[in-house]
């Protein structure tokens, strides 16, 4: 398969970057083709703006998503976006590789999502969840953090990690139609003895060899909703009460 790793860490010698290198080695050893978008190294521009469009459907008022659609169709989207979009459309699996920043992705990665996951190709109209543009592709988060695993357990002080990252897992990847694999997390990374960090890399390599055995996260099917996206069961229930 073709794998795209979207990587965001400002330090090339960081542990998170070691994880990214580990992913490239492991996946290539399995015969997969791996593309890496190293956002800091590319000096990726994360700011969505009018400068992203070579032509304008409405020059007086910027509706970003609408111009995305028009400019992609007209081949007039900014070249940096076009290059990333080509990789995204070509791949079977996207791995987002990052250190957790404020329970989210680093801003530079958020800017990749805003600019590259364009309306018209990735989502738009009722093209979301199981009708999303990324249907048939898989996606996964692979990240590091400072906190310990038990801090993010069901009774942990911060609550469950997947709930913290729901905006990515469901609001972005699930919404776009990806099959979302369970995340790989390296906890407490800066504070561990070296051998425990080395063990995380070994666990990550092993994880990447077993992707087909992972149970994807569950998201809604639009079959359960009517044309206005009201839950069908509820609509039927209400009409029974009338």
Ligand X SMILES: Cc1cc2nc3c(=O)[nH]c(=O)nc-3n(C[C@H](O)[C@H](O)[C@H](O)COP(=O)(O)OP(=O)(O)OC[C@H]3O[C@@H](n4cnc5c(N)ncnc54)[C@H](O)[C@@H]3O)c2cc1C
Q: Does residue 8 touch ligand X according to CB under 6 A?
A: no
Q: Does residue 16 touch ligand X according to CB under 6 A?
A: yes
Q: Does residue 15 touch ligand X according to CB under 6 A?
A: yes
Q: What angle do CA 102, 103, 106 make, to 5 degrees?
A: 65
Q: Which stretch binds ligand X (CB under 6 A): 59-67, 120-128, 189-197, 231-239?
A: 189-197
Give the nearest distance from C-beta 217 to ligand X in angstroms: 21
Residues 133-162 interacting with ligand X (rule: CB under 6 A)? 144-147
Q: Does residue 190 touch ligand X according to CB under 6 A?
A: yes
Q: Does residue 41 touch ligand X according to CB under 6 A?
A: no
The Cα-based distances of 225 to 59, 114, 172, 175 in angstroms read: 36, 27, 19, 15
Q: Is residue 158 within 8 Å of residue 151, measured between CB atoms?
A: yes
Q: Does residue 108 touch ligand X according to CB under 6 A?
A: no
Q: Does residue 197 touch ligand X according to CB under 6 A?
A: yes
Q: Does residue 10 touch ligand X according to CB under 6 A?
A: no
Give the nearest distance from C-beta 103 to ligand X in angstroms: 4
Among the listed residues 72, 100, 118, 140, the single contact to ligand X using CB under 6 A: 100
Q: Does residue 189 touch ligand X according to CB under 6 A?
A: yes
DSSP string, the chain: -EEEEEE--S-TTSHHHHHHHHHHHHHHHTT-EEEEEETTTTT------GGGBSS-S-SSS--HHHHHHHHHHTT-B-HHHHHHHHHHHH-SEEEEEEE-BTTB--HHHHHHHHHHS-BTTTBBTTB-GGGSTTTT-EEEEEEE-SS-GGGGSTTSTT--HHHHTHHHIIIIIITTTPEEPPPEEETTGGGS-HHHHHHHHHHHHHHHH-GGGS-PPP---GGGB-TT--BHHHHHHHHHH-
Spell out, one character per residue from 17 to 36, where the chain touches ligand X: x when CB under 6 A holds, - when not.
-x------------------
Among the listed residues 61, 102, 212, 215, the single contact to ligand X using CB under 6 A: 102
Q: Does residue 205 touch ligand X according to CB under 6 A?
A: no
Q: Does residue 61 touch ligand X according to CB under 6 A?
A: no
Residues that bind ligand X (CB under 6 A): 9, 11, 14-16, 18, 99-103, 144-147, 189-190, 194, 197-198, 201
């Amino acid at each position: 398969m073709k794998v795209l790793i979207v990587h965001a860490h400002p330090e090339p010698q960081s542990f998170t970057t070691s994880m990214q290198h580990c992913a490239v080695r492991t996946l290539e050893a399995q015969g997969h083709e791996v593309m890496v978008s190293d956002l800091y190294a590319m000096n990726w521009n994360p700011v969505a703006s009018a400068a992203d469009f070579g032509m304008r459907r409405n020059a007086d008022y910027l509706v970003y998503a609408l111009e995305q659609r028009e400019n992609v169709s007209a081949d007039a989207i900014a070249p940096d976006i076009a290059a990333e979009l080509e990789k995204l459309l070509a791949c079977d699996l996207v791995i987002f590789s990052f250190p957790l920043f404020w329970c989210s992705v680093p801003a530079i990665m958020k800017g990749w999502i805003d600019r590259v996951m364009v309306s018209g190709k990735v989502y738009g109209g009722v093209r979301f969840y199981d009708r999303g543009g990324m249907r048939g592709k898989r996606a996964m988060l692979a990240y590091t953090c400072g906190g310990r695993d038990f801090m993010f357990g069901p009774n942990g002080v911060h609550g469950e990690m997947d709930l913290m990252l729901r905006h990515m897992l469901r609001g972005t990847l699930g919404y776009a139609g990806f099959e979302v694999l369970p995340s790989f997390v390296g906890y407490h990374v800066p504070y561990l003895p070296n051998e425990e960090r080395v063990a995380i890399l070994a666990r990550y390599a092993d994880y990447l060899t077993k992707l087909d055995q992972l149970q994807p996260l569950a998201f809604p099917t639009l079959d359960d909703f009517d044309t206005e996206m009201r839950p069908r069961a509820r609509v039927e229930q209400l009409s029974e009460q009338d």
